[in-house]
Chains A and B, each alone.
Chain A
Amino acid sequence: MSEIESPDDGAEPIATMTLPLDQWHRARGGRMVEFAGYWMPVQYEGIVAEHLWTRESAGLFDVSHMGQLYVAGEGVEPALEAVLPIDLSTLKSYAPRYSLLLDDNGGILDDLMVTRWNTGFYLVVNGATKWDDIAHLRENLPDEVTMTHLEDSALLALQGPKAVDALARIAEGDVALTDLTFMKGGTFKIAGIDAWISRSGYTGEDGFEISIPAENAAQIADLICQQPEVKPIGLGARDSLRLEAGLPLYGHDLSPETTPVSADLTFAINKRRKAEGGFPGAQRILAELTDGAPTRRVGLALEGRQAAREGAEVYTGNQKVGVLTSGGFSPSLNHPIAMGYVDVAQAAPGTALEIDVRGKRLPARVVSMPFVPHRYHR
Chain B
Amino acid sequence: MPRYFTKDHEWIDVEDDVGTVGITDYAQGQLGDITYVDLPAAGQWVKQGDAASVVDSVKAASDVYAPVGGEVTEANAALEDAPELVNTQAESGGWLYRIRLSDPGELGGLMDEAAYKAYVAEL
Do the beta carbons of B59 and A7 come within 8 Å of each other?
A: yes
Do the beta carbons of A329 and B32 come within 8 Å of each other?
A: no
A331 to B10, CA, bound (A): 26
A49 to B32, CA, bound (A): 11
Do the beta carbons of B61 and A47 come within 8 Å of each other?
A: no
Given A47-B33, A306-B36, verify A1-B60 contact (CB < 8 Å).
Answer: no
Kindly list chain A residues whose C-beta atoms are within 8 Å of the C-beta of B35: 305, 307, 329, 336
Do the beta carbons of A1 and B58 come within 8 Å of each other?
A: no
Residue of chain A at shortest CB distance from B35 = A329
Residue of chain B at shortest CB distance from A42 = B59
A370 to B55, CA, bound (A): 27
Contact of B58 among A3, A4, A240, A304 (CB under 8 A): A240
Given A1-B9, A307-B56, A329-B58, verify A46-B32 contact (CB < 8 Å).
Answer: yes
Kindly list chain A residues whose C-beta atoms are within 8 Å of the C-beta of B46: none
A1 to B9, CA, bound (A): 6
Do the beta carbons of A1 and B8 come within 8 Å of each other?
A: yes
Q: How far is the CB of A29 from chain B (nearest CB, A)?
A: 12
Convert A1-17 into 0s and 1s, putting 1 for each residue whose CB lies closer than 8 angstroms to a CB of B. 11111110000000000
Kindly list chain B residues whose C-beta atoms are within 8 Å of the C-beta of A329: 35-36, 56, 58
Convert B10-45 into 0s and 1s, putting 1 for each residue whose CB lies closer than 8 angstroms to a CB of A. 100000000000010001000011011010000000
Convert B83-105 into 0s and 1s, putting 1 for each residue whose CB lies closer than 8 angstroms to a CB of A. 10000000000000000000000
A to B contact number (C-beta, < 8 Å): 70
A selection of 26 A-B contacts at a CB cut-off of 8 Å is A1-B27, A1-B55, A1-B63, A2-B63, A4-B54, A4-B62, A7-B59, A42-B59, A46-B32, A47-B32, A47-B57, A47-B58, A51-B58, A236-B58, A236-B59, A240-B58, A304-B36, A305-B35, A305-B36, A305-B56, A306-B56, A307-B35, A307-B61, A328-B59, A336-B35, A336-B36
Given A1-B64, A48-B33, verify A331-B58 contact (CB < 8 Å).
Answer: yes
Does B4 touch A at the CB level, under 8 Å? no
List residues of B whose CB falls within 8 A of some A CB: 8-10, 23, 27, 32-33, 35-36, 38, 54-65, 83
A336 to B32, CA, bound (A): 16
Do the beta carbons of B61 and A1 come within 8 Å of each other?
A: no
Does A309 touch B at the CB level, under 8 Å? yes
CB proximity to B under 8 Å, residues A1-58: 1-7, 42-43, 46-49, 51
Residue of chain A at shortest CB distance from B53 = A1
Does A378 touch B at the CB level, under 8 Å? no
Q: How far is the CB of A313 from chain B (nearest CB, A)?
A: 15
A305 to B38, CA, bound (A): 10
Do the beta carbons of A1 and B10 come within 8 Å of each other?
A: yes
Kindly list chain B residues whose C-beta atoms are within 8 Å of the C-beta of A307: 35-36, 56, 61
Kindly list chain B residues whose C-beta atoms are within 8 Å of the C-beta of A328: 58-59
Q: Closest 8 A-B residue pairs measured CB to CB? A: A329-B35, A305-B36, A48-B33, A47-B58, A1-B8, A4-B61, A306-B36, A1-B9
Further pairs besides A236-B58, A331-B33, A336-B35: 7, Cβ < 8 Å: A1-B62, A3-B61, A4-B60, A4-B61, A47-B58, A51-B58, A358-B54
A42 to B60, CA, bound (A): 12
Q: How far is the CB of B60 from chain A (nearest CB, A)?
A: 5
Do the beta carbons of A305 and B61 come within 8 Å of each other?
A: no
Residue of chain B at shortest CB distance from A235 = B59
A1 to B8, CA, bound (A): 5
Kindly list chain A residues whose C-beta atoms are within 8 Å of the C-beta of B32: 43, 46-48, 236
Residue of chain A at shortest CB distance from B10 = A1
Given A1-B9, A306-B38, verify A47-B59 contact (CB < 8 Å).
Answer: yes
Residue of chain B at shortest CB distance from A240 = B58
Q: How far is the CB of A216 from chain B (nearest CB, A)?
A: 32
Do the beta carbons of B36 and A5 come within 8 Å of each other?
A: no
Kindly list chain A residues whose C-beta atoms are within 8 Å of the C-beta of B65: 1-2
Do the beta carbons of A3 and B60 come within 8 Å of each other?
A: yes
Residue of chain A at shortest CB distance from B87 = A46
Contact of B62 among A2, A7, A358 (CB under 8 A): A2
Kindly list chain B residues whose C-beta atoms are within 8 Å of the C-beta of A7: 59-60
Do the beta carbons of A6 and B60 come within 8 Å of each other?
A: yes
